[in-house]
Amino acid sequence: MKILHLDSNHKLLINQLNDLGFTNDIDFSSSKEAVEAKIANYDGIVIRSRFTIDKQFLDAATNLKFIGRVGAGLENIDCDYAETKGIHLISAPEGNRNAVGEHALGMLLSLFNKLNKADLEVRSGKWLREANRGIELDGRTVGLIGYGNMGNAFSKKLRGFDVEVLCYDIKAGVGNDNAKQVSLEAFQEKVDVVSLHTPQTPLTLNMIDANFINGFKKPFWLINTARGKSVVTKDLVDALKSGKILGAGLDVLEYEKASFENLFKQDSSSSAVEMPEAFQYLIEAQNVLLTPHVAGWTVESKEKLAQTIVDKIKAKFC
């Protein structure tokens, strides 16, 4: 079987697949059209997020038996169409779930203790102790929306705290010893912290909007290490301004797929994009922590993601 690798990954991925007898080619730079022109020669592809695997691409891939995505989600693949063609889909949420859980916890503790704000102040010569008095996580209720690999990983990190952990998921029976599954009504009534751990689907697009936010009984903190398009940024900002949301840790943004760097260009070049007013507020807010989609992006997870893909290919095709 021949496999085409479309993104660079940990070297063990190709090395171990070679050892298993697969033929591995790499193409990290050709256009999507160029890859489509030769994809019929391959039995499998391994990709991260370089481009979308759509109907046109899949129609060209006449011999394709599997797609391996080195990541947690499959939203850049037309999964329904791929399955009609008998293509086996492989993802690797097991590979970076621990990293995501640690990142979510780190963001939450940083927000509670104003670490990013205090750090900048000390660096600029300000020693403001009372203004940086933090709050404690113990005694609060943490709510997880989505309780698959990532939600479970975060709940495990919370076991060392005296907190109640609730989860809400469209699937029944996903709760366990680390999180009690409840209805959305009960979830919105009790939680002090909301952490998103959902994939990008039609159900989760724009899920966190004004109506959803206002359904919560208490002001809450928001952590999003899932997908940026699950949160309506303008509605988030309105809630931050009103105090309905007390602070936010955002590893993902709805703007990140639209040439994020171009938002910061000050010239009149064709690549420059006008800075959205809501995002301007986020980058200036002291109760908002931003990271560049790196929650699952650790030295260890790079290796574990690759190993998970190898193990799943081996289990299916060897």
pLDDT tens-digit readout, 210-235: 999 999 999 999 999 999 999 999 99
Which residues does the annotation mark as catalytic?
A: 227, 256
pLDDT of residue 125: 98
Read out DSSP for the chain?
-EEEE-S---HHHHHHHHHTT-EEEE-SSS-HHHHHHHGGG-SEEEESSSS-B-HHHHHH-TT--EEEESSS--TTB-HHHHHHTT-EEE--HHHHHHHHHHHHHHHHHHHHTTHHHHHHHHHTT---SGGG----STT-EEEEE--SHHHHHHHHHGGGSS-EEEEE-SSTT--BTTBEE--HHHHHHH-SEEEE-----TTTTT-B-HHHHTT-SS-EEEEE-S-GGGB-HHHHHHHHHHTSEEEEEES--TTTTTTGGGGG--S--TT--PPPHHHHHHHH-TTEEE--S-TT--HHHHHHHHHHHHHHHHHHH-
Separation CA 208–CA 198 (nearest Å): 12
Q: What is the pLDDT of residue 219?
A: 98
User: Which positions of the chain have pLDDT values less than 50?
Assistant: 258-259
For position 268, what pLDDT does the model report? 55
What pLDDT, on the 0 to 100 scale, is given for residue 262? 63
pLDDT at 18: 97
**Residues 64-108: tens digit of each pLDDT:** 999 999 998 898 899 999 999 999 999 999 999 999 999 999 999
CA-to-CA separations, 33 to 11, 38, 46, 271, in angstroms, rounded = 26, 9, 17, 23
pLDDT at 73: 86
pTM over 0.85: yes
Distances (CA, A) of 223 to 18, 186, 228, 244: 40, 19, 11, 14
The pLDDT value given to residue 257:
64
d(CA 95, CA 305): 4
Q: Which domains does the chain have, with CATH numbers?
A: 2-91 (3.40.50.720), 97-296 (3.40.50.720)
In this prediction, residue 272 carries a pLDDT of 58
